[in-house]
């Protein structure tokens, strides 16, 4: 077996994961930015392809996708808000590195507010879950 189809073997779990996805409420461009950045960090090829296509459909262009993959080396191509979101997204994805800086959370809340910060955390957590499902099931 080269891949495991959780939609068949674990229908309730998969339905719960889809339900989580439906609650995400960041603006479309920020949502795809977070999903792609996390997917690049985690090396989830399936998610990278899916969210790259989504970015292209939104008109963001291949250069934008490539710059996102190379971030933080390409930080000058993103505005201050985007760089803050990307910093927080990367820190939230690299939790095992124990590199999360609590001051970063304060900066994000100060800039985005509590509601949007919560939306950002939910998006980061959800795409990390999907990446793990994709990588571990080889889907």
Delineate the domains of the chain, giving CATH numbers in brackets: 26-137 (1.20.1290.10)
What value, to the nearest 5°, has the Cα angle with vertex 84 and ends 27 and 47?
55
Q: Above 60 in pLDDT, residue 1?
A: no
Instruction: Give the separation between CA 94 and CA 89, rounded to whole angstroms.
Output: 9
Q: Please give the pLDDT value at position 100.
A: 73
CA distances from 89 to 1, 5, 71, 101, 137 (A): 33, 28, 11, 12, 23
- The confidence band for 95, taking pLDDT boundaries of 50, 70 and 90, is confident
Q: Above 60 in pLDDT, residue 25?
A: yes
Mean pLDDT of the chain: 93
Q: Above 80 in pLDDT, residue 31?
A: yes
Q: What is the mean pLDDT of residues 99-106?
A: 85
Q: What is the mean pLDDT of residues 38-67?
A: 96
- The confidence band for 139, taking pLDDT boundaries of 50, 70 and 90, is confident
More confident: 99 or 88: 88
Q: What is the mean pLDDT of residues 62-70?
A: 98
């Amino acid at each position: 077996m080269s891949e495991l189809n959780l939609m068949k073997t674990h229908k309730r779990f998969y339905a719960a994961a889809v339900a989580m996805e439906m609650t995400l409420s960041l603006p479309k461009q920020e949502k795809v930015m977070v999903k792609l950045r996390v997917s690049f960090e985690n090396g989830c090829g399936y998610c990278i392809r899916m969210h790259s296509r989504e970015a292209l459909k939104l008109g963001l262009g291949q250069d934008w996708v490539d710059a996102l993959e190379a971030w933080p080396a390409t930080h000058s191509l993103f505005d201050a808000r985007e760089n803050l979101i990307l910093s927080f997204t990367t820190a939230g994805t690299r939790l095992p590195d124990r590199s999360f800086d609590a001051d970063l959370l304060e900066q994000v809340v100060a800039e985005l507010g509590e509601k949007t910060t919560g939306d950002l955390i939910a998006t980061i957590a959800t795409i990390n879950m999907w990446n793990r499902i994709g990588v571990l099931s080889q889907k």
